[in-house]
Each structure stands twice: as C-alpha cells, then as structure tokens.
Amino acid sequence: MVAYAACALIWGTTWYAIRVCIGPGGFGTLEALALRFLIAIAILIPIALRARPWPRGAQWGWLVLAGVLDAIGYLLVYLGEERVPGAVAAVLYGTQPLILAVLLTATGMERITRRHVVGALVSLAGVAILFLDRLDVSAQQAAGVGMIVASVLVATTYSMIMKRHAQAVHGAVATTVFLVVTAAVLGVVALAFGEGPIPWPPPAWPTVALLYLALVGSVVAFLTYFWLLGKTTLLVTSTLVFVYPLVAIVTDAIAGDETLTMRAYLGAGVTLSGLVVSLRRS
C-alpha cells in the first residue's frame, strides 16, 4: 500500500515538475531529459554494483529494449508537455488499461475480464471528451495529446517486458540497467538535436524541479514501481492511473497553473469512473 501510494503521489506531481523544468527560463527539453537520467544513474550505479543477482543471457537484451522504450516514452512525454498542462497529460494516461487489455490478450500474460474491457471503453470516451476540450484551445495542444497517448503505449509495453523478464534480477540492478540505457539514448539525442549549452548559472526553480525529477521521480519512483510490479499484477499497477490525474489537478491548482474547463473535469470524471469499473474487485 505504501509503495502504491508513493508511486501515485510521485508520478502525479512530476507532470508539473516537468513543466517547471522545461518552461520559460528553464532547461531545453532534450537537455533536461538527459540530465535527469544522468543524475539518477550516478546515484543508482554504486547501489547496483553491490547487489545480486545480475541479468543473465537474454535478460540483458530485454532490459536494454525496455530502457530504449523508456527513452522513447519520455521523449514523447516531455515534447507533449510543451503543449498540454500536466493535469491533462495525467488524465490521458487513463487510456493505459485499454491498451494493456489489448496487449495482455494478445500475449496471454494475464486474464482480461469483460468488465475490464467495458470499463476501459468508458475511459476512452472520457478521454475523447477531454480531447475535444483541448481542440478548442489549439491544434498544437491536440498534437500534444497524441504524443502523450503514444507514450502510454510505449510505457505499457516496457512494463510488460519488465514484468516477464526482469523478475529474477535484483530490483536495484534491473532499475539501474534500465535507466542507464535510457540515459544513454537520451544523451545521444540531446547531443544531436539539443537546443545548445546548458544555462549557467543554473536557473533556480527549474534546477529544483530537475533534481526532484532525477532523485524522486526517477530513482525512488522506479525502484518502488519495479518492486511493486514484482509483488502484484500488471492490472493492479495499471490502476495507478486512477490517482495521477487527481494529484496532477490538485498540484496545478495549488501552483496556479492553467485552469481546466468544466468539460475537461467531465472528461476526467468519465475516464476515472470507467477505470474503476474495469479494474474493481468483484
């Protein structure tokens, strides 16, 4: 329960932290991404070196693939967050159970009930309501919606890989290998396509946000999430998307960020109610 709550609260607040980190006067998007994971692995590597067991054989390949997918997913999230507020991005993650249902059915990893599919479809209707609300603002925000939804597909895929292929590896080791690959990919992308030198002296609040994303949003959250993934099912961990929008909306409201319209709240409510239907216990 503590691990579940920690993941929900941490990742629910990272949406706002990302916007602070890459907002006006902050870091370039690609530079912020690379720095976030470079700081994270600098902390994790000494921990992983003392842990056992390490990956063997094909486990290395699966961890590398999951890390590459994580890098792609975060690229989509950060680029999407340039276009939509954090609360909207968090609500869009409500599509995860529907995507998960399709993937689990295709792979046979876990049993999907009819209630899960019906609830996920209701959630998708809520996302559609929210999507229409964003279209009233600008086409650029509609593009951001598409990026966030694509990142959901990527995140769901790497979660399935970690669930199936990383359970025999020590959690700290699996997390470190996973994030080292993520950092390497994002570092190459930042060097090739970044906006230029890192701001110096570092801007105050964007730097605080960057450190929060690296230390709490990456090190603590991923260690906790992969531990939780090993103790329960993918369907249970996917219910974290119930809480992300609520935390993100409260965070945006406290920070005085962009105010959502009533139709956006309606979309959020429909999305969350569908997810409750799909994943509640009998």
Two tokens, residue 189 = 């992308």
pLDDT of residue 140: 64
Alpha carbon 166 to its chain centroid, in Å, reads: 19
Mean pLDDT check: name the lowest of 131-145, 176-190, 211-225.
131-145
pTM above threshold 0.85:
no
What mean pLDDT, rounded, does the chain reach?
82
Higher per-residue confidence, 120 vs 173: 173
Span 148-169, pLDDT tens digits? 888 988 988 998 999 888 888 9
pLDDT reported for residue 64: 96
80 or 68, greater pLDDT: 68
| Top-confidence residue, 179 or 244 | 179
pLDDT at 247: 80
> What is the tens place of the pLDDT at every residue in 49-78?
999 899 999 999 999 999 999 999 989 988
Relative orientation angle of helices 96-107 and 262-279, to the nearest 10 degrees: 30
> pLDDT tens for residues 205-255?
999 999 999 999 999 999 999 999 888 878 778 778 767 777 877 787 777
DSSP code per residue over 142-198: HHHHHHHHHHHHHHHHHHHHHHHHSTTS-HHHHHHHHHHHHHHHHHHHHHHH--SSP
pLDDT of residue 63: 96
User: Is the pLDDT higher at 143 or at 176?
Assistant: 176
Running DSSP on this structure, what letter comes out for residue 251? Answer: H
DSSP 56: -
Distance of CA 134 to the CA centre of its chain: 20
Cα–Cα dist 273/29, whole Å: 33
Lowest mean pLDDT among 100-109, 126-135, 181-190, 219-228: 126-135
C-alpha to C-alpha distance for 173 and 111, rounded to whole angstroms: 29
Q: What is the pLDDT of residue 87?
A: 62
Structure confidence at residue 98 (pLDDT):
72
